[in-house]
Amino acid sequence: MPVWKPEAYIDGKPLKPESLMMKYGYRPELSEGAIKCPVFLTSTFVFKSAEHGKSFFEVAYGLREKGPSEELGLIYSRLNNPDLEILEDRLKLWDNAEGCAVFQSGMAALTTTILEFARPGDLVLHSEPVYGGTDYLLKHILPRFGIEHQGFRAGASVAQIREQLAASGKLGALSFILIETPANPTNALVDIRALADLAAELSTPARRILVAVDNTFLGPLWQHPLKHGADLVVYSATKYIGGHSDIIAGVCLGSVELMQRVRTLRTIFGTITEPWSGWLLLRSLETLKLRMTCQMKNARYVANFLEDHPKVERVYYLGRLGEDHPDFELYRRQCLAPGAMISFDIVGGEAEAFRFLNALKLFQLAVSLGGTESLAEHPASMTHSDVSVADREWLGIGDRMVRLSVGVENPEDLVLDLERAFRAV
Ligand SMILES: *Cc1c(COP(=O)(O)O)cnc(C)c1O
C-alpha cells in the first residue's frame, strides 16, 4: 500500500484525491510563499555543496538505496523537475500507485514502458482494437527489435486467448500483456483480473509476465486497473487528464520497483515531459473530477436520446448494458461509471454518417477525446482507417459508426444539435 505525505491525512484519515489536487506535494515556503507552484523553466539545478551533488547522483544512478525520508535531489530536467515531481505525486493518488512517471505523450509512455520490459525474442500479447499509434508500434516498430506481438479481440474469453497462444507456439516467449479497455470505438471490455491471473499462472521465477492497462478512456476516475491485478497503468494525459485539448502528455504508474526501471529508461530516452506542460497538467488536475463527472452525466443524457432515435440502429455505451449483455457483469466488477465516450450505428452507411457529421454545429468534427468540448468523428475513415477492412469487420467497426466524445456543454444544447443533424441526414 502506498504511503502518502502527511498532508494527505486529517486525524489519520486519508483525504480523497480531489481534495488534494490544489496543494499536495507543494511547499510554498520554498517559492516565496506563492500559493501556486511556479513553472520551473530550468534545465539544471545548483547543488548546495559537492557532497550534496555526489549523494544525489548516487541515488539517481542506483549506486545506493534512497534513505526512508530522503528525496531525490534535483539534478537536471531530463531526470526530474519540481513541477513534474509534484505532478507525479498528485497523479499517484488517483490510482493508488506507489510510483509514477510523466512523459511527453501517451505514445512516449507506452514506448518507453514496453521497451523496458520486452526483450528481443519476447512476445507481447495485446487486446484489439488498440489506439492507432499503439497498433503501429506493436506491428511495425517492435518487430524491428525482434519483439513479436499477438492480438486477441476485446471480448474473447481467457480460454480462447490461452488456446490462441498455445496454437501460436510462442507461449514460452510471452513477457508482456497490454490491455486497452474499454476498447475504442466499440466500448467492448477486457477482463483485467482474468488476464492478471493468466499472467501469474504462466510466469516462472525466471520470467515474470507483466500486465499493463491503457486506462485513457475511463481513468483515472472510473477504472483503477491496479486494484484488479494489473502491474502498470498507462495514460494519454492528452485526453481526460489534460482535458482541454491544448497539450500532449503521457503517464505510467505502478510499483516503486517497476517504475524505477521505467524512469531510468525515460532518463536515457529523454521522453520526460517539460515543466510548462507539467504545470498545465497540475492546473487541469484541480478540475479533473468536476470535468469527468459533468462529462459522464452529459453522456448519459446524450445516450438516452440516441437509444430512442429512429435513425439510430445501435448504441455502444457502457451505461446501458442490459443484463443479457456479455459485458454486464464485468462492467459492474471493473468500472465505477460509464465515462463519456459513445459510439452508435446510424441507419444507412457512410453517406448518412457523413451527412450527419457535416450538419453538426456544436459538436466539432475532430479526432481525440476527453476535452471540455464535444467531438464527433467517423472511426472507419478516420481513427481506424488503417485497420484492414477484414479486421474492422471482425472488430465490429462499420461504415455506419459515429463516435462521440461528450464535453461539458449544456446537455440539452448537445441533444438539440444532434436532433438537428439527424434531420439533415
Ligand atoms: C490518444 C491515445 C494514445 C496516444 O496518446 P498521445 O498522447 O496522443 O501520444 C494512446 N492510447 C489511447 C487509448 C489514446 O486515446
293 plus 203 within the same structural domain: no
- Structural domain contains residue 194: yes
Tell me: pLDDT of 56 over 80.
yes
Find out whether the beta carbon of 158 lies less than 6 Å from any atom of ligand 1: no
384 plus 358 within the same structural domain: yes
- Structural domain contains residue 96: yes
Residue 249 confidence class, pLDDT cut points 50, 70, 90? very high
96 plus 229 within the same structural domain: yes
Q: Rounded CA gap, 181 and 183, in Å?
A: 5
398 plus 373 within the same structural domain: yes
Task: Find the CATH number of the domain harbouring 87.
Answer: 3.40.640.10
Tell me: pLDDT of 89 over 90.
yes
251 plus 300 within the same structural domain: no
Average pLDDT over residues 139-160: 95
Domain boundary among 264, 285, 306: 285
353 plus 251 within the same structural domain: no
- Structural domain contains residue 40: no
Ligand 1: centre distance to CA 83 (Å): 22
277 plus 418 within the same structural domain: no
SS3 96: coil
Find out whether the beta carbon of 132 lies less than 6 Å from any atom of ligand 1: no
Exposed / middle / buried, residue 188 (Cβ in 10 Å: 0-12, 13-18, 19+): buried
Domain containing 403 equals: 289-424
357 plus 385 within the same structural domain: yes
300 plus 320 within the same structural domain: yes
- Structural domain contains residue 44: no
Q: Name the residue at shortest CA distance from atom 11 of ligand 1.
A: 131
Buried/exposed code over 45-80 (b: 16+ C-beta within 10 A; e: otherwise): bebeeeeeeebbeebbeeeeeeeeeeeebbbebbbb
Q: Name the residue at shortest CA distance from atom 4 of ligand 1.
A: 106
Q: Which amino acid is at 391?
A: D
- Structural domain contains residue 262: yes
- Tens digits of per-residue pLDDT, 348-396? 999 999 999 999 999 999 999 999 999 999 999 999 998 889 989 888 8
- Tens digits of per-residue pLDDT, 159-171? 999 999 999 999 9
Residue 39 phi/psi, 5-degree rounding, is -85, 120
- Tens digits of per-residue pLDDT, 92-146? 999 999 999 999 999 999 999 999 999 999 999 999 999 999 999 999 999 999 9
Ligand 1: centre distance to CA 368 (Å): 8
Which triple of cell numbers denotes residue 76? 537536471
pLDDT at 69: 73
128 plus 251 within the same structural domain: yes
182 preceded by a cis bond (ω within 30 of 0): yes
Tell me the whole-structure pTM to 2 decimals: 0.96
SS3 197: helix
- Structural domain contains residue 41: no
Ligand 1: centre distance to CA 307 (Å): 28
pLDDT at 378: 97
Which triple of cell numbers denotes residue 360? 453538426
pLDDT at 387: 86
CA torsion 410→411→412→416, rounded to 10°? 100
Choice from 107, 223, 247, 384 to test ligand 1 binding pocket (greatest atom count within 8 A of CB): 107
Count the domains in the chain: 2
pLDDT at 388: 87
Neighbours of 332 (CB within 10 A): 10
Find out whether the beta carbon of 250 lies less than 6 Å from any atom of ligand 1: yes
DSSP string, 21-86: TTTTT--GGGTTT-SSPPP---SB---SSHHHHHHHHHHHTTSSPPPTT--PPP-BTTT--HHHHH
**Cα distances (angstroms) measured from residue 82 to each of 43, 138, 171, 311, 360:** 11, 33, 43, 52, 43
**Which residues neighbour 288 within 8 Å (Cβ) at sequence distance 6 or greater?**
18, 21, 94, 220, 221, 240, 241, 243
245 plus 323 within the same structural domain: no
Q: Name the residue at shortest CA distance from atom 7 of ligand 1.
A: 106
Measured at the CA of 305, the angle between CA 303 and CA 309, to 5 degrees, comes to 115
Q: Name the residue at shortest CA distance from atom 6 of ligand 1.
A: 106
- The candidate with the shortest Cα–Cα distance to 196, out of 327, 102, 334, 326, is 334
Exposed / middle / buried, residue 117 (Cβ in 10 Å: 0-12, 13-18, 19+): buried
198 plus 84 within the same structural domain: yes
Q: Rounded CA gap, 397 and 370, in Å?
A: 21
- Structural domain contains residue 5: no
Find out whether the beta carbon of 105 lies less than 6 Å from any atom of ligand 1: yes
pLDDT at 67: 79
Choice from 110, 187, 238, 341 to test ligand 1 binding pocket (greatest atom count within 8 A of CB): 238
Domain boundary among 240, 268, 285: 285
**Cα distances (angstroms) measured from residue 67 to each of 56, 61, 70, 146, 293:** 11, 14, 5, 39, 40
Q: Name the residue at shortest CA distance from atom 12 of ligand 1.
A: 131
Task: Find the CATH number of the domain harbouring 393.
Answer: 3.90.1150.10
Kindly give the residue spans of alpha helices, DSSP state H, lying in 61-207: 82-95, 106-117, 132-136, 158-168, 192-202
Beta bridge partners of 151: 126
pLDDT at 37: 97
- Structural domain contains residue 29: no
pLDDT at 231: 98
Q: Rounded CA gap, 375 and 382, in Å?
A: 13
**Cα distances (angstroms) measured from residue 16 to each of 90, 94, 216:** 11, 9, 21
Domain boundary among 235, 264, 285: 285
Q: Rounded CA gap, 216 and 241, in Å?
A: 9
